[in-house]
Structure 1
Amino acid sequence: MPAPHVETAPGAPCVLIIADMLGRSPFYDHLAALVTGAGFQALLPDVFFRQGPLPKPGAEAAIARRARLDERRSLEDLRAAVDWLRERSTGPSVGTVGFCMGGMFALDLASTQGELVTVAYYGFPEPPAWVVSPPPRPLDLVGSLRRPVLAFWGERDTAVGPESAVRCAERAAANPRFAHAVLPGLGHGPVRGGASGDVMPGVRPRRRIVNIGDTAGESTVDVKWWMDEQIELVGSVWFTAVEGMELAGLLGSGAIDVSVLQPRTWPLDEINDAISGASSGEGGFTSYLVEF
């Protein structure tokens, strides 16, 4: 199974990163970089290597590709990946982190593999009804969990269903090292970016939301909720959250040389004049930093 592997040091603890049904993306590449930056090995397998890449982006194509996936066989592929990592680590456990479909696989592995430490984001305790060849239901296996598991679901996740998440947590209660959280206001897939509309209802009243990119289209905020809760929104639409994280990483590593940019400064009381000049296109790049 093709899988980019990054090793910071021989024998370092290992983390298996299992993507959602859209597959590998800059988000997961960045996550792998964060994991290795913390001193771990990271492995990012492609469970769709037999089906090939998506013919076009989007959920419709992803669902069609997943319909050709034998998910029980994929689970065996992931077991082999865990064993491969275990052979290369001197640590006592292998970590797994999965998202959506990958979260479902991570929960299955946690119930059937020994010596795993698991984090599952909005994983399905019960595979969606439209899945053609599903793996075992984590809901049926979760009672056998004995190793540490941390699971996150969204309160408004209609894909997983809050009731399914609650049943999973109840059945796992016999494991004292199982912890979970149902996050207020969140829908399905809040971690990957582009989720501001899901996240906003989870903000407490009379608070300020600072949105660094993440919204490139029309906003779908419930204006009545916004007014009733006295929420203030401040932000930018230039980068998505994931793109901003990638850019920060490139700048921090020195991969992007910003020495050619010519900094200019304005006093704070002239900040509106500075922003108004952005349309002049001087240099083709404008960034504003406020220093207090």
Structure 2
Amino acid sequence: MGSMTSFPSLDHDSTIPAYVAKPEQPSKAAIIVIPEIFGVNEGIRRKCEAWADLGYIALAPDIFWRFAPGVELDPDVPEQMQEAFGYYQQYDPNLGVQDIEAAIKVLRSEHGAEKVGLVGFCLGGLMAYMAATRTDIDASVGYYGAGIDTKLDEAKAIANPLVLHIPEQDHLVSPEAQAKIHAALDAHPKVTLFDYPGLDHGFAAEMGNRRNEDGAQLADRRTRDFLASALG
């Protein structure tokens, strides 16, 4: 079982809460799990535990620590969904990249990780893309990232492997936005895009009404295989 801990922010002026799960045996590979807009809830903790069971150190930072530390929300509760969108509006992705850099640093320096990957969901999917363009993360995976189409001018900076899972019926990422992503990234040698016909945003949630079992298992298997190859 994992536990809550914290690690220094990039400027060392603050500490960032995080959930960390470790495998039974020492590991040289780590995975940063970037949550959806619902905080480090049970579903995200389960994802961390699953990565630890596969032999990785898994760390899920509290992405809203600056203004709503410790929040845990259920997307199946309408009031909590609206609360989550409010936090999303307050979130600064540029600061989020700094938090990812801080997580990479601590995993390498204090946890002994020689390679660090990242898996992000929803807002975390956008952060997976931004981590690939702005940090030295060894590999990144984004699930249904919203807003990637607005940052495609950064794609030329992607130096390490990136996978994006794109549900074609994503009600938060329009067909036009998806087309822009494909046009910009299909030919990129470091990027792999997987489309999921008929599936909507949140299809790979660990639990709850949004999960599509077949789609989630397919995407997660692709992610596991990709990270096993990229992180060794």
Q: Mark yes or no: TM-score above 0.5.
A: yes
**Post-superposition CA distance 1:176-234 (Å, at most 9, x none):** 231111101011111114136x789x9xxxxxxxxxxxxxxxxxxxxxxxxxxxxxxxx
Looking at structure 2, the residues matched to 68 and 115 of structure 1 have their Cα atoms a distance apart, in angstroms, of 25
Name 2:158's counterpart in structure 1. Answer: 145
- Per the alignment, do residues 23 and 113 of structure 1 end up closer, same or farther by CA in structure 2, a change over 3 Å counting? same
Contact kept? 1:117, 1:147, Cα under 8 Å: yes
Aligned match of 2:6: none
| 1:257 match | none
1:32-57 deviations in Å (ceiling 9; x for gaps)? 11101111100010011121244975
- 1:109 is aligned to 2:131: yes
Counterpart amino acid of residue 38 in structure 1? L
**Secondary structure at 1:22 match in 2:** coil
Q: 1:102 to 1:56 in 2, by over 3 A?
A: closer
Counterpart of 2:64 in structure 1 is 48
Normalized per residue, which structure has more strand? 2
Q: 3-state SS of the aligned residue for 1:104?
A: helix
1:41/1:144 CA distance change after superposition, 3 Å: same
Take 1:19 and 1:56, find their aligned partners in 2: how far apart are those partners? 11
Change (3 A) 1:55 1:122: closer
C-alpha distance in 1, partners of 2:204/2:185? Answer: 24
Larger-gyration structure (1/2)? 1
Identity %: 26
Partners of 2:34 and 2:197 in 1: CA distance: 24
The residue aligned with 2:228 is none
Please name the residue that 2:170 is paired with. Answer: 157
Paired with 2:194 and 2:73, the residues of 1 have a C-alpha distance of 34
For residue 142 of structure 1, what is the amino acid of its counterpart? Answer: A
Equivalent pairs, count? 190
Task: Note if 1:177 corresponds to 2:200.
Answer: no
| Cα drift, residue 146 of structure 1 | 2.4
Q: Which amino acid aligns with 1:19?
A: P
Higher relative contact order (CA 8 A, sep 6+): 2
* CA separation of 1:108 and 1:45: change in aligned 2, threshold 3 A: same
Q: What is the TM-score with the length of structure 2 in the denominator? A: 0.73
* TM-score, length of structure 1 as denominator length: 0.59
Give unmatched runs, 5+ long, in structure 1.
128-136, 203-292
What does 1:67-82 align with in structure 2 at a 5 Å threshold? 67-82=89-104
> What's the C-alpha RMSD, in Å, of the aligned pairs?
2.4
Aligned with residue 121 of structure 1, among 143, 167, 177: 143
Q: Secondary structure at the match of 2:177?
A: helix
Aligned AA (1:32):
C
| Distance change >3 Å, CA 40–CA 161, structure 1 → 2 | same
